[in-house]
Structure 1
Amino acid sequence: MSQDSRLTQAAYQGPALEADRDFYRPIGEQTERREVVEEFTIPIRSGQAWEVPAGHVCRISTVEGPQVGDLNLWNRHDPRERFWASRTRQLQAAHVSTFDRLWSTLPFLRPMATIVGDTLADYGSDAEGGRLHDTLGTRCDPYVSQMLNGLDFDYHCHSNLVRAVLPFGLTEFDVHDVLNIFQCTGLNDHDEYFMKTCPAQPGDYFEIFAEQDLLAALSTCPGGDLSQPMFGDDNDDPVDNCHPLQVTVYKLSDDLLGDWTEPGSPKYLGQHGLKPQSWA
């Protein structure tokens, strides 16, 4: 192996990052061994929150046409544990797909969910370097819109997520960096974030296996398929490019789960050196 190859290897490696494919593959593929326990559709430019019990699968589908969705996750019993996009980007990838894991914040640091289905997994990297399901960017929000364009708009993904979680006792301060599902993004030659048109078609889906009891929230992005800019000079409102997203929660047969157990946190002793220490 050349020195250059060693320098570009993943910075974080180890068996803790590897999903057991022999366990997760049947969960994603043997869909006949599931039972629907909840299903609903999120209209355009809105958001909804829902629960996903541990050991269940949640599917997000493009039922009518291409549409980007911004996803947040929390531990249902302790919202201080929530999805950590930047650490997931380091531990897994900037763009995630089947068998990647979505990791939680410190001090919990454990998989919240494992991706078990992605009908767009073969998209790979396009000619411009665009890839799908990114952890690079975050939700659109009215603060940036006001700062850049002087416009007020109440249906950005941030606002949709805020409204979605209020019934669960959470607030704007709990909404966090997202997983951009179905969104095609990358970095250009100037290391700047770009977004491309969503390639999803009706019937495409993205599935996660809940590794713990989850509260999930999803916004149907007001940019729809992102085929045109939302705001700025001479930009029309792309509402015609917006489509709903469907959410389905499945209970799995017991034999698919086998002896699966909820992942634990690293066994760090804590206190971060704030206790007396002898170096003798």
Structure 2
Amino acid sequence: MTSPSNKTRLTEAAYQCLPGGPLDVDKEFYDKVAATASTEPPLRTVVESFVLPIRSGKAWEMRKGDICRIVAVEGAQVGDLNIWSLHNPRERFWASRTRQLQRAHVSVYDRLWSTLPYLRPLVTITGDSLKDYGVDGSGIDAEGGRVHDLLGTRCDPYVNRMLSGEDKDYHCHSNLTRAILPYGLTEFDVHDVLNVFQCTGLNDKDQYFMKTCPAKKGDYFELMAETDILCALSTCPGGDLSKAMWGEGSSETTNADPTLECCRPLGVEVYRLPDGWLAGLGWKEALPNGPMYKGRHALREVAFTPSASADIAG
């Protein structure tokens, strides 16, 4: 019979590290980075700023140490975010591993990790005006919803065609594809996203649900680049997700596109800190953890001998 202590262990986070390891974030340092948003005189310099129209996408570069703030400039709106290493697009944001290393809905101090064989934090979240969302600031609302979703992925025209029989080219997958074409990337480089401002969860049937986005005008989500990166953002065609995109209720009005009125733009601001400011606090660019692995995968055959007590079906 499982002991109470073992039951507790089995429900703790599966992926953990020793103190001072890559999952043990220096919160004091990132608090100082976040505080640069309000210093006088300003420490941050704006290097890029734009408003992303509804149902569109745009890509932009960030230098290591840059800070990006995504803003709900007119109210509730979901944004689908992709990230790549700027110098090697094979290294890109890995949503599923980030769910394991961090959590399924991310906020301040969480990191977004890259794919194998690189495996490093591409960004660290430094600011989130919705970090206290939910009942009594718990991060979870009465229906089990949480914000900044990693459970789902981007909407796409293929699933839309399958579910609705209609062709629409402004789904997030399409928006992201168009956004990265100027950088020499294609549809095959688009990957699972972070759904910024999106409120989601699992219902009592263990099915994915999407609630109305809780963001209000002025709400923001901020992250710091741990290496040189390329970002792309789509303003989701579902807008604030207050109306169904598929299934029953998705076309319950005479409006041929009932979600259009739910759509709003998003603002993107990229900032740079003074040269040497981050290094003065001991910060260094995140390096890939992959090269530390010294094995050779299946390139080196290892013979396994069954133990004498093994029950081998013949």
TM-score category of the 2 structures, normalised to the smaller one: over 0.9
Return the offset for 1:27: 0.5
Task: Summarize the Cα distance change of 1:213–1:148 in structure 2 as closer, same or farther, 3 Å threshold.
Answer: same
2:145 paired residue among 119, 130, 151: 130
| In structure 2, distance between residues paired with 1:82 and 1:226 | 27
**Partner residue of 1:11 out of 14, 19, 32:** 14
Give the structure with higher Rg (CA).
Answer: 2
Amino acid at match of 2:114: S
Give the Cα–Cα distance (whole angstroms) in 1 for the partners of residues 303 and 161 of structure 2: 54
The residue number in structure 1 matching 2:5 is: 2
Picking from 246, 250, 260, the partner of 2:271 is 250
Superposed displacement of residue 230, structure 1: 2.2
Cα deviations across residues 68-89 of structure 1 (Å, max 9, x unaligned)? 0000000000000000000000
Q: Given the alignment, which residue of 21, 31, 43 partners 1:25?
A: 31
Match of 1:91 among 72, 86, 101: 101
Q: Deviations over 1:105-152 (max 9, x none)?
A: 000000000000000000010011100001100000000011111111
Q: CA deviation at 1:273?
A: 4.4
Structure 1, residues 213-246: CA drift from partner, whole Å, max 9, x if none?
0100000000000001124453442111111001
Aligned equivalent of 2:58, options 48, 64, 68: 48
Aligned to 1:34: 44
Residues in 1 aligned to 2:68 and 2:279: alpha-carbon distance in whole angstroms: 15
In 2, are the aligned partners of 1:55 and 1:257 still within 8 Å (CA)? no
1:106 maps to 2:116: yes
Structure 2 match to 1:265: 288
Partners of 2:220 and 2:268 lie apart in 1 by 10
Kindly indicate whether the alpha-carbon contact (under 8 Å) linking 1:198 and 1:226 is maintained by their aligned counterparts in 2. Answer: yes
Q: In the alignment, does 2:185 pair up with 1:165?
A: no
Q: Contact 2:77/2:236 (CA < 8 Å) preserved in 1?
A: yes
Deviations 1:223-279 (A, max 9, x none): 000001124453442111111001000001332442321112220124214136699
- The normalised TM-score by structure 2 is 0.86
Written as runs of structure 1 = structure 2, the 5 A alignment for 1:143-162 is 143-162=158-177
Contact 1:157 1:222 survives alignment (8 Å): yes
SS in 2 for 1:165: helix
Contact 1:26-1:256 within 8 A present in 2 as well: no
Secondary structure class of the residue paired with 1:121: coil
Q: Which residue of the partner structure matches residue 214 of structure 1?
A: 229
Whose strand fraction is larger, Structure 1's or Structure 2's? Answer: 1
**How many residue pairs end up in the alignment?**
279
Give the match for residue 204 of structure 1. Answer: 219
SS at match of 2:132: helix
Is the 8 Å Cα contact of residues 76 and 214 (structure 1) preserved in structure 2? yes
Q: Secondary structure at the match of 1:38?
A: strand
3-state SS, counterpart of residue 102 of structure 1:
strand
Root-mean-square deviation (Å)? 1.5
> Distance between the aligned counterparts of 2:22 and 2:202, measured in 1?
28
The more displaced of 72-81 and 230-239 is: 230-239
* Native 8 Å contact 1:62 1:205 kept in 2: yes
Scaled by the length of structure 1, the TM-score of the pair is 0.96
The 3 A distance-change label for structure 1 pair 278 and 142 is: closer
Residue of structure 1 aligned with 2:299, choices 262, 274, 278:
274
- Structure 1 residue 240 and structure 2 residue 250: aligned? no
SS state at 2:267 partner: strand
